[in-house]
Amino acid sequence: MTPKPLLKVDGIPILLYYLNEIKKTKIKKIVIITNHLEKKIKNCVESYNKNDFDIIFLSQNKLDGSAGALKVAKSIIKEHEKSYFIVSATDYLIPKNFFMSFIDFHKNGNQDITAAIRKIVPSIAKETNITTLGEQNRIINILEKPDVKLDKPSYISSYLLYILPTQGINYLDDIHLSKRNELDLAELVNIMIREKYRARGYLVEKFSHWEKRYLDR
């Protein structure tokens, strides 16, 4: 079996697309949180990394959601006070230079939190989230896996791809389990917004989510 991050597009594992793009930025420290088939992921990354990054591997022994994964890295993030970090799933096919543009958008704005957002149709919304925006793409709320009537032709949704201030980890323990018994990163963003952190959405072209028709297993 192949773990999601190692599914191949044009013969290259998706995770390595991420590392190639991150290499264009000033990021040097990466934490990779794994669970399923973690040894395969580690072997792949170690064979790729030629001292470009300081990479730390951590295991999420309990699969309790995206914020649960972030909790695993809490002590490492704490080492970098008054800074920012990127947190991302690794099952999107990101475009070239995405991380450079994403970081520039964050640095040139006055927000504390940046989320990659997209337009979606109602049939997809219940599988992901609905992100409510104000002026200048200010994020007001993120409703994860909405169980509500959807009567608009399109909605805005956040990818699991954020830039967060390191202070955000102080709110991880305030997150309640969802109906799916998961700790959602979107709820962390909601909590921080209520605590007066400023959040904005970075509207991007639709990422190609990993699908069988794209993949060379």
Q: Where are the domains of the chain?
A: 4-214
pLDDT in tens, the chain (217 residues): 888 889 888 889 999 999 999 999 999 999 999 988 899 999 999 998 878 899 999 999 888 999 999 999 999 999 887 899 999 998 888 888 999 999 999 999 999 999 999 998 888 888 889 999 999 999 999 999 888 777 888 899 999 999 999 999 999 999 999 888 899 999 999 999 999 999 999 999 767 654 433 333 3
Q: Which helix (H) or strand (E) holds 103?
A: helix 98-108
Domain covering 4-214: architecture: Alpha-Beta Complex (3.90)
Q: Which candidate, 4, 13, 24, places its Cα nearest to that of 46?
A: 13
User: Cβ(43)–Cβ(2) under 8 Å?
Assistant: no
Give φ, ψ of 202 to 5 degrees: -105, 105
Rounded to 5°, the CA angle 96-102-105 comes to 135
Q: In this predicted structure, what is the pLDDT of residue 49?
A: 82
Q: Which candidate, 114, 112, 79, 111, places its Cα nearest to that of 99?
A: 114
The number of helices, as runs of H, and strands, as runs of E, in the chain is 7, 12
